[in-house]
Structure 1
Amino acid sequence: MANPAILTVDDDPAVSRAVARDVRRRYGDAYRIVRADSGEAALEALRELKLRGEQVALMLADFRMPRMNGIQFLEAAMDLFPLARRVLLTAYADTDAAIDAINLVDLDHYLLKPWNPPEEKLYPVVDTLLDAWLATPAPPETRVVGHRWSAPSFAVRDFLARNLVPFRWVVADEPEGGRLLAAAGLGPDSLPVVVTADGKALVRPTESELAAHVGLNTTPEADFYDVVIVGAGPAGLGAAVYAASEGLRTVLVEQRATGGQAGQSSRIENYLGFPDGVSGAQLTDRARRQAQRFGAELLTTREVVELSGDESSHLLRFGDGTAVAAHTVVLATGVSYRVLDAPGLAELTGRGVFYGSATTEAPSCAEQEVYIVGGANSAGQAAVHFARYAKRVHLLIRGDDLTRSMSQYLIEQIEGIGTIEVHPRTEVARGEGSDHLERLTLRDTRTGEERTVETSWMFVFIGAEPRTSWMPRAIARDERGFVLTGPDLISDGRRPKGWPLPRDPYHLETSMPGVFAAGDVRADSVKRVASAVGEGAMAVSLIHRYLEGR
């Protein structure tokens, strides 16, 4: 394992060099010193350390930095390394801000500049903080042992990463992988193996087994609720926060992982309140913790397969036969990426072909040629993210350019990154490889001309399909399967067939009274994180109206 890191960040080059020099002189043998010249650069360094499974012991940040000051940086850094000790470097005039930061970011200490001599003003403080960090028990570690090019191994890692469960990836062919398998009395045919924090070895675990052993809740505490929310993407999380905060008994049911497609985003830069951007994982984690703080329950790996009921109560049945009931339901199941229909790709899924932004794979793409299929924001965000690691990122789009489907800020970012190349009017004709993807055949959609490229990495972001096949026929949908709500259910001034109430459906209400839809699953919704959160909140206000009018 690499030495734990001490990170220093200051936009003044002279001060940055001085603090890094003084820290390295005293602690360089036992700690790796990482230096950054801005809050944004420091956060990116922390994300890379997080992805590599490394530890950060201490962060020293200057208070006065443009765009992101030291307090803002430390607040964001807490999401990545909550156990790291935090120090603010400040001038005498800013001591009030430093004192305020003690509560805001749980600041451990602030140092006045200059700190000369370091033997008196710097080292005693850092010594104390490092001793405290070393004495803090490390969080339990989950280890995943598997093959590099294995779809089941990737599925386990992706599930843990998307549920924000810390784990360490161990390749079975490496010495540590062999030792872990031998200790568990297992062989290579058992992979993937998950070794939990308490030492239990799970052989080829299902997602439900994983959830139960890594602390994720899978069992509801009650049989009846005021509201059941199906789907924990931005719309579902927004509904959970508002419902629980307003006193409704709330349970949020997710089949796979919180965050939905937004949770897979490497960087969301146009979400209100985050001027420096926020990763989908960070936004998801904050929303999840916020909902749970208000009392909402969160169930994972629970697939809803049936919905029934009337205007008085609704029953949701899970795949294992158990069920929960509620006065109201919010459908926030979102959408899934369409499968790329080209020969050779299906058998390579999870082995070089990935759907969505598989951030766990980003460090492995270092100095590689990466291909991304899609022209919307999710594809653009992935291209910018993977460009930090890859030798070159190739963005394949069927249209003439990006302007029809991608936000302008992302287009400008992509144009400014020399290692991203956009290929217009290009589609994937087929994929080939033995144990993993090795080459792609690309086709010009205008001329039909084909060419072959060597690559082991392709990430697909094409279109969206609503997750509505399990819903009852009583819930009306459009020709593409998206749920119709409110005014869209009224035709020629008439309410939907079978509608039992003497009023029109509320704006987000489906053709089943008391069942609401929010976010991407709803027909003609705006496919943006902010609008999904807003619809989740609006659904709760309509639920109050529904409950009061029964």
Structure 2
Amino acid sequence: MAKPVILTVDDDPNVLSAVARDLRRRYAEQYRIVRADSGAAALEATRELRQRGEAVALFLADQRMPGMSGVEFLAQALPLFPQARRALLTAYADTEAAIQAINSAAVHYYLLKPWDPPEEQLYPVLDDLLEEWQASHSPIFEGIRLLGHRWSPEAHALKDFLARNHVPYLYFDLETDPQAHELLEQYGQPAPTLPLVRLVDGRWLVAPTVAELADQAGLLRQAAQTHYDLAIVGGGPAGLAAAVYGASEGLRTVLIEREAPGGQAGTSSRIENYLGFPSGLSGGDLARRAVAQARRFGVEILSPVEVIGMRIDGPYRFLQLNDGSEISTFAVVVAVGLSYRKLDAPGVEQLTGAGVYYGASLTEALSCQAQPVFIVGAGNSAGQAAIYLAEYAERVIMLVRGDSLGAKMSQYLVDRIEASPHIEVRLNSTVHAVHGSDHVEAVTVRAPDGSEERCPAAALFIFTGAMPCTEWLTDIVHLDRQGFIPTGPQVFEDGRRPKGWDVDREPFLLESSVPGVFVVGDARAGSVKRVASAVGEGSIAVQFVHQHLARLR
């Protein structure tokens, strides 16, 4: 197959030559470098590449060009190769235009001239952009094929699981996709119970559970060892950060995640206020990068595996897993995060997975094309989902129980929601009922004055107040009334030594009422519910783990 293309455009011959030279030096083995000396020439070359069926991985365009600026070229190239990464080369005086282009033309990054030395100023940025493109580009699909009905909760659970664990798959809808019937014919037997899964090696699974599919997809679900220095429960940003720092500092580290690495943040369509990513990144991208980094340092990641209990025996903390096995460790970092509260309204439970979804469920966005959808919630996750779904749905209606959208949501999201013509916000409004036989067809909304309105809907996405996933720690670690875990000074807040505190010292900052059991992220009492703070807590906790281990020696 032809190499994917990196297309660079600049009207200055000397600059164009220098850029092409540096690109060839680094990327010629994997990519074909194409040059253009104007925006119009670059656009023509892009159209020819599209017609020939070639792939473009990266556009690198100079901003200040006569006739067509770099931003204008990238905006016109976007619909031709929407998955390609887009970067601007700009002078310092044009940085304001470059920053604005991140929103107006979906530019991923801008680079300042001059970029010497390229090893420091050019290649790290382009390496990152090309890695992102490779992660989403599949020229020849060699993965799992999944056949099911659009409104099947079982098919939705498998799709969501595969997507969040970054397992390549193709989904075929039996009702709308002609290729689905071809896949069914390949099965060669009477119509089975759906969903139906064809594995890479040609074997078939009929209506598998998530655990069965995980085993066949090659995910690690059994620990390689019986004892570790550090065990982390929960694979969200906080847990992944603790895993990276723990393993990089020499600790034998295992991370146990009950669903998929990334946690709730992993389902976010776009995180735009995370430091160092001016164009934002999806929760899936963040999870993928963090998992790769953790594995590089030797972290053992078990997923999907659930911790159902813990027992203490001297310096050892034993984690009981849902397959009946145990793992012993000297220290535990609890990073279990939160789960969304169930919405108590008629029809919700019956239609969960068939149009009612908790969290963003990005796998279902395309099925909402040109149809109205509802979102319940007013936090950042709800705001990110609204902006993402507005790219597909005819209309996104946000139902906010309170009287302000900005009470719990970052201002940048509020501004973008208010500016979107496809998003409607209804304050002081709630879901009274959900209607449909086998899938969501309508939602009854209760207005502030008590009146009710039945509205057509293709889906309902729920982001209501979340509960900490700490039931397995009841009677072992001190929990507050809401199930969150007090740490540090909060442990001795009432002046009494809590049950289980058997060492002659004060708790470390992120330590729970049991020595050696640390808590980070959203499950910690008083935590800031933001990705950056979770990552910070996860990294800081490892320093206290070291201090705890030093006292055991």
Report the TM-score range of the alignment, normalised by the length of the smaller protein. Answer: 0.7 to 0.9
Which AA in structure 2 matches 1:467? C
> Are 1:489 and 2:465 counterparts?
no
Do structure 1's residue 175 and structure 2's residue 178 form an aligned pair?
Answer: yes
SS state at 1:190 partner: coil
With over 3 angstroms needed to count, the CA separation of the structure-2 counterparts of 1:8 and 1:399, relative to structure 1, is farther
Q: Which residue of 1 aligns with 2:44?
A: 21
Partner of 2:415: 412
Q: Which of residues 446, 463, 478 in structure 2 aligns to 1:443?
A: 446
CA distance in 2, matches of 1:40, 1:332: 41
Match of 1:206 in 2: 209
Are the counterparts in 1 of residues 107 and 279 from structure 2 also a CA contact under 8 Å? Answer: no
Give the match's secondary structure for 2:279: coil
Equivalent residues of 1:352, 1:456 under 8 A apart: yes
Percent identity between matched residues is: 44
Q: Do the aligned residues in 1 keep the contact of 2:192 with 2:206 (CA within 8 Å)?
A: no
User: Are the aligned partners of 2:348 and 2:433 in contact in 1 as well (CA < 8 Å)?
Assistant: yes
For the residue of structure 2 that corresponds to 1:470, the secondary structure is helix
> CA 1:373 to 1:188, structure 2 compared with 1: closer, same or farther past 3 Å?
farther
Match of 1:502?
504
Indicate the SS of the match to 1:383: helix
Deviates more, 1:181-190 or 1:158-167: 181-190
What is the letter of the counterpart of residue 258 of structure 1? P
Shift of 1:296: 0.7
After TM superposition, list the pairs within 5 Å mapping 1:124-163 onto structure 2.
138=140, 140-163=142-165
1:199-223 CA distances to partner (integer Å, 9 max, x unpaired)? 1211111222222222321121111
The within-5 A match list for 1:51-200 is 63-64=89-90, 66-67=98-99, 97=118, 101=122, 105-106=126-127, 138=140, 140-173=142-175, 174-200=177-203
Q: Distance between the aligned counterparts of 2:231 and 2:516, measured in 1? A: 11
- Matched residues in 1 for 2:300 and 2:283: separation? 21
In the alignment, residue 394 of structure 1 is paired with which amino acid?
Answer: I
Q: Residue 490 of structure 1 aligns to which amino acid in structure 2? A: F
Q: 1:248 to 1:268 in 2, by over 3 A?
A: same
Which residue does the alignment assign to 1:320? 323
C-alpha displacement of 1:370: 1.4
Amino acid aligned to 2:532: A
Query: 1:428 — aligned with what?
Result: 431
Q: Does the 8 Å contact 1:351/1:435 carry over to 2?
A: yes
- How many Å apart are 1:25 and its aligned residue? 3.8
Distance 1:422 1:519, change over 3 A: same
**Farther-moved stretch of structure 1 (424-433 vs 210-219):** 210-219
SS at match of 1:325: strand
- In structure 2, relative to structure 1, the CA distance for the partners of 1:241 and 1:494 (3 Å cut) is same
Relative to 1, partners in 2 of residues 1:47 and 1:399: Cα closer, same or farther, differing over 3 Å?
farther
Match of 2:545 in 1: 543
Kindly indicate whether residue 281 of structure 2 is the aligned counterpart of residue 278 of structure 1.
yes
Residue 272 of structure 2 corresponds to which residue in structure 1? 269
Which of these residues, 462, 465, 470, is aligned with residue 464 of structure 2? 462
Equivalent of 1:530, from 524, 528, 532? Answer: 532
Q: Distance between the aligned counterparts of 2:44 and 2:77, measured in 1? A: 21
User: d(CA) in 2 for partners of 1:41 and 1:198?
Assistant: 41
Shift of 1:172: 2.1
**What letter is aligned with 2:144?**
T
Structure 2 residue 371 is the aligned partner of structure 1 residue 345 = no
Secondary structure, counterpart of 1:275 in structure 2: coil
Q: CA RMSD in A?
A: 3.5
In 2 relative to 1, CA 521–406 (structure 1 residues): closer, same or farther, beyond 3 Å?
same
Distance in 2, matches of 1:259 and 1:211, equals 17
| Counterpart AA for 2:155 | S
TM-score, L = length of structure 2: 0.82
Distance in 1 separating the partners of 2:125 and 2:409: 36
Q: Is the 8 A contact 2:74 2:86 kept in 1?
A: no
Post-superposition offset of 1:366: 1.8
Inter-partner Cα distance in structure 2 for 1:529 and 1:468: 20
Query: Which letter maps to 1:230?
Result: V
Q: Which moved more, 1:393-402 or 1:172-181?
A: 172-181
1:490–1:100 Cα change, 3 Å: closer
The structure-2 alpha-carbon separation of the partners of 1:432 and 1:230, relative to structure 1 and needing over 3 Å to count, comes to same
Deviation string 1:137-184 (CA, Å, 9 cap, x unpaired) is 846221111101111111110001111112111112433222222222
Distance (whole Å) between structure 1 residues aligned to residue 327 and residue 521 of structure 2: 23
Bigger mean CA offset, 179-188 vs 487-496:
179-188
Judged with a 3 Å threshold, the aligned counterparts in structure 2 of structure 1 residues 168 and 528 are, in CA distance, closer, same or farther, namely same
For residues 36-70 of structure 1, give each alpha carbon's deviation from its aligned partner in whole angstroms, at most 9, with x where no partner exists.
94799699869975xxxxxx7xx786534823999
Distance of 2:191 and 2:423 partners within structure 1: 38
Unpaired stretches in structure 1, ≥5 consecutive residues = 50-55, 78-87, 110-135
Distance 1:90 1:187, change over 3 A: farther
Q: Give the counterpart letter for 1:30 in structure 2.
A: G
